[in-house]
Structures are given as structure tokens and as C-alpha cells.
Amino acid sequence: MISARFLPLVLKQLTRRRVRTALTLLGVATSMFLFSAVQAMQSGVREATTESSKETTLVVYRQNRYCPFTSRLPQHYEQRIAAISGVTGVVPIQILVSNCRASLDVVTFRGVPAEQAEGVFRKSLRIEEGSLDAWLARSDAALLGKTLAQRRGLKVGDNFQAASVTVTVAGIIDSDREQDHNVAYVHLPFLQQSAGLRKLGLVTQFNVTVDDPARFEEVAKAIDAEFASDTDPTSTSSEQAFVARAAQDIIRVVEFTNYLGWACLLAVLALVANAIVLSVQDRVKEHAVLQTLGYKPAMIGQLVVTEGLLVGVLGGLLGTGLAAGALAWRTMSLTTEGLSISVRSDPWIILTGLGISALLGIVAGLVPAWQASRRQIVDCFRAV
């Protein structure tokens, strides 16, 4: 790195061609914006589908069904599941979604029994506004996930309608569980009798708590074996595995965007390299003067590399900052089959974007720096 006293000289080089520098920064910022957005989507997929060694919840679904509209299990399965060795809790859940297809704005209702709400909510949810008592007091009350409330601009006391269901917001919740961010928890009988369902005695799935994560597979097999000969056989897996299976179309699309991320990085490299090459060609005479004043060829090369570094850092800072701000302002979730994958930036994505843009800026400046440092004084003056 060059000494700090040479930075004014580098900045002067950058501002000499202001339009060209501004356009280069805009191009780098746009590419890093897209790159950061791609990284945010991939981070959301990893968070929603990566299984944890501490996870103790299994999802029991109707065999060969992935959409909430087609998964129907008798609610009385609850007692038979609870009797299986290793099971410490069973919660029947009815799910209703406003759109079963992939979408950025889906409302997912989850109906749970009021008598089990204390155990369900106290264990995994944090009520940030409103209260559980307010939810218990009204049959049409809903506890909204933080992401859903932000996206719809809802607050405690508001009424809202989706999928032919009208509810009153009794609280806003936060959770460490990815699938709780974009849902509305309502009373199970209320949802079963809603206009969109009218199916008392049927639920979409059971959430099963296991006493030991090491017994996950054993308990899952025991549950499926229990109902293998029933009219409605089951398929049991961890929540993350279920999300990975049900949302595989979205996951494949997000995986494909990885190529878009690489293309963005190549665009950054090309933009910075092109700007630096043009800048160096314009300053042949100036480099001759610098050498006459005693600047070593290596120092001239370092000045050029620093110029590329600054363009990369400034463009990266602008692009990653705008991406983080946009994702924080417009909370988004990729939702399919009632399962959500949040798209949001985090400090690691911002730091990664800045680091990569800085590295690309340095790499882009290496070739023009090498050319500038090898040019002799006489050749410089002849080129003028």
C-alpha cells in the first residue's frame, strides 16, 4: 500500500475525468447490488434448509403431498402420535395460504389449538407487540410474524383479510424459526370453519417434538409405520428437510442465480479495468513528469493499483449499501406451498461484497499498473 500522503494525488486522478469515474462507479454499484441480492437469496435458502444438530421438531405431512390444500390428516392422529416412544409433544396445525404458487406476497395462516398455544408460543416465539392474552380472548385473533406485519404495514388492533379469512391483529411476534416470520397464527377451530376450508376434524400437518435429536430418524420411521396401512398415510421429516423438498423449485432457481452473481463480479472486473486502462493511457505525459521528479516505476504502479482499489471500494460500498437498504425497507420472502424463504441482507453479506469489490479493484489495476511502471521516461515523452 502507498503512504497516506499520496492519497490526494490518487483522488485527483479519479476526479480529473468525473463523468467517466461516475459512470464506472455506477456500473460497479449496480453489479454489486445484484451480487448482494443474489447472496441474500442464497443465504435465505441455506438458513431455511440447513438442519441443526439441536433441532427437535418433526413435521408429519400427508404422504406424497406438499401443498397445504391437498395435505389432509385426521386430527385424531394426534393421540396415536403422542403415544409413540420418544415423542414429547404433538401440535395439530391447519394451514391456509392465500396463494399456493411461488410468490413474493403470500399470507400463510396457521391454526393451532388455543389450549396448546401457551406451550407453542412461549417456547419458540417472542411477542414484541400485543399479548398472548389478547389472542386467547378473541376467536378471530391473529399473531403476525414480524416480516408479514412489516410487508403489509399492519399493527396491533388492525383488521385484515386474505384467502377469504378476516382476522384482528392481537400481536406481532419474532422468532428464531424461519417459518414463523411470515405467518399469521390463528385459532384452529376458527380456521377449520373458515370460508376457505370448512373442514372440522382435519388438519394439514402435525408438528412433533422429539425428546432427543439423535432419535429423529427413529421417531420419524415409527410415526410413518404407525399410519402406513391407514387411509391417510404420513410422511415425516425434519422441518428443514421438508422445506428443502417442498420448495425445491424455488431452491433450483436461487441456485441458478449463482451464475448471475459470478457474471456481476466479471462485470465489476471489466468495468474497473477498462476505466483504469483509459486513465493510464491519458496520463502518459504525467507519468513521465513523475519519473522526472524522482518517482520510482514501482511507486507509479502502486498509485495505479490504489486507484483501482478506490473505485472498487467506493462502488462496492454504494452497491452493497443500497442492496441492504432496499431489502430492509421492502421485506421480501420467497413463498411456495405455504413455506417461506426470507431474503434479507446481513453484516456478513455486506462485508463479503466490500471485500470482493476491493479485491477485484486491485486485480483490475494490476495490468495497467505493470504497463505504466515499465514505460521509460523517453518512451513517455515520445508518446505525447
Distances (CA, A) of 136 to 20, 114, 146, 184: 62, 7, 19, 14
The 10 Å Cβ neighbour count of residue 229 is: 7
Contacts 24+ apart (CB under 8 A), 292-301: 292/377, 297/372, 297/373, 297/374, 297/375, 298/373, 299/2, 300/369, 300/372, 300/373, 301/369, 301/370, 301/372, 301/373
pLDDT tens-place values along the chain, 384 residues long: 677 777 888 888 788 888 888 888 888 888 889 899 888 888 887 777 776 656 678 889 888 876 777 788 999 999 999 999 989 889 999 988 876 666 667 788 999 998 877 777 766 778 888 888 889 898 889 999 888 888 888 889 998 888 788 899 999 988 877 778 888 999 999 988 875 556 778 899 998 988 888 888 899 999 999 999 998 899 998 877 777 776 677 777 777 888 888 888 888 888 888 888 888 777 777 777 787 788 888 888 888 889 889 988 999 999 999 999 888 887 777 776 667 777 778 889 899 989 999 998 899 888 888 888 777 766 666 655
Phi, psi (degrees; rounded to nearest 5) at 56:
-125, 10
Strand partners, 234: 62
Tell me which residue of 207, 180, 178 sits closest to 113, measured CA to CA.
207
Q: According to the model, what pLDDT value does residue 1 have?
A: 62
Distances (CA, A) of 146 to 50, 101, 156, 179: 22, 22, 12, 11
120: Cα separation from own chain's centroid = 25
